[in-house]
A and B are shown apart, each in its own frame.
Chain A
Amino acid sequence: MTGSMIAFAAFSTIAIVGSLLVIFRRTPVASAFALVLVFFSFSGLYALMGAHLIAALQILVYTGAIMVLFVFVIMLLNQDSPITDIKESSLLFKGIAGLACVGMVTVLINAALRVSGLAPTNIYTDQKIEELGGNLRVISELLFTDHLFQFELTSFLLLGAIVATIALSKRQRKGGVS
């Protein structure tokens, strides 16, 4: 058992337990904090695979931005108390959903196993990345050369999202709908 293996076991356990908490906690706030837990553990998993940039961005984007948004919204909508007045899904529905999900995961894992047998491309082996100056450098270079166009497009996407969000959450001046 190496250290990284222990770390992997810990992170993955936290991730799975966290996500279970997300879906089974009654209060949205609790779910949200469980989600933060999951995000952190994912970040750890990225780091374990050497994807340091992603790991950092995971913390920054998800925990720093998205989660904050969630919490704000929860506060805004006063959803911090446990939800009791909702009729939950029926047991039958839950059963079907569960079975289907298990089936899905099985199928997907099976598919992934088939893919794992394929020969690696050997373009960016670990030592090659080291030679080129590390993961961050390689990704940045690719991003600003070959994929510059897509990168710029994402800025448009973000702009659109900003406009859309403002339009959606803006209070109508004259009454609005009902």
Chain B
Amino acid sequence: MLNFENTMTLANESLNVFMVVPLALCILSFLIPKGLQRAYAIAGAIFFFALSCYEVSQGLGGQTLPWLSQFGIQLGFRLDSVSKWFVVLTGLVTFIAVYLKGNWYRKSPRIFVASSFFMAFALNAAFLSTNLITFYIAYEAVFVPIIFMVGIWGTQTKAASVFKFFLMSFLGSIMMLVSMFYLIYLYQSQTGQYSAQIFDLVQVSKSIAPERLCLAFFGFFLAFAIKVPLVPFHGWVRDAYVNAPMPATIYMSGILSKLGVFGFIRFVLPIFWDQAIQYHGILVTVAAISVLYAALLAIQSKNPRELLSYSSISHLGFVMLGIFSLTSGGVGAAVLLSVAHTLASVVLFMLLHFMSERKEDLTLDRFHGLAPRFPMLFVAFFIAVLASVSLPGTVNFVGEFLVLSFSYPVSALCTVLSSIGVILGTVYMFKFYQYLGFGSPNPKTGAESVAKDIGVFEISILIFMLGLIIYLGFQPAVILRGFSS
């Protein structure tokens, strides 16, 4: 049983830094001239990331500020061993997203930079908040910059994909909102006052007959399952990932999906523990199906982005398997694997962007032979692919191995089925790599022939990211330490 009480005694009380800084960066970006936007954004993001790391290293903590207390809405924030990693990842992903060059720095760059920082703000608010209502507001606020990004810089069918994305996510979150109100109502009917604090609601859920919470459980489940996404609810992913501009894709795959994972860990498991046990069989089956189904879809896809989007779903299936094992070990492993997936998928999308900057057509139906022309790029790409197929030595392996180890005692069949996803993962990731890198280079045409290998700054970012993947692969204790108790 997971419990999240007793963290209010912790020391760190400067959590508002995580939200004030990105918001300030967001507002300031309107004052910066267009030409300097990228430099400003990179500098700001590095500053923000470094600050996040520093603040996280200062220890865990929590604070509660009164806001609309008569309705049970307080600004409650908490940094615990789960949320701190997501907060750090937010900083990292923000940096990568604003780093990438593209038409978002040509056409209204201010909006892009402001949306990026606003996204960081909303994400951090969601990751830190302990109050359902503030969480919900932040959770919804994340939509705004994404929709801006896809709407302004997306490709051909962006309107449809935005609509699909918005519709599905909104459907889920509306259900969640209703469930939230139901929980708050239950609390009110028990104690006579309003509260949306997670601790209070956990108390309520323990004292109430489990059947009464089933629908509320499904409301929450649906919202997060769409966000993650789990398989029957993944319909929006492909279009959104493919048609979005690269930074938005990186945001979605790198950190937005983790919002769903985080929601499961922080809200669904503590509040709906009994329901999760009751529907345990269904949950692990859904996770296993996500792994396999998405991997098969990835095998048949010809578009690199589509492939990566399906592979994201498949890997998040593993994460969910860890969470649905309903053991503290499984949850710890799921957090580790989330971090691993963010690192790997962000690097892969980034490299894909570098490649498409250099070559327009990257269809996966023939060999492009790019490796000899961009050796550095492809070395990095290969390591990222290895991480993605979770080869030992990368953090992804440790995560996946632990997830499966902890889910095996709970559901052997689903675990073995998911392991097959590992093979399928190898097939599609290597196919992806080989089609792009191997074979003989095609006769060069015009602009393509002058394209150069990646530069020093790019290399240092990649060394940082890949070094992190490998370092954590041997020292996962950095992350796992918080879950060992």
On whether A and B touch (CB less than 8 Å), the answer reads: no
B interface list, Cβ under 8 A from A: none
Q: Chain A residues in contact with chain B, CB under 8 A?
A: none
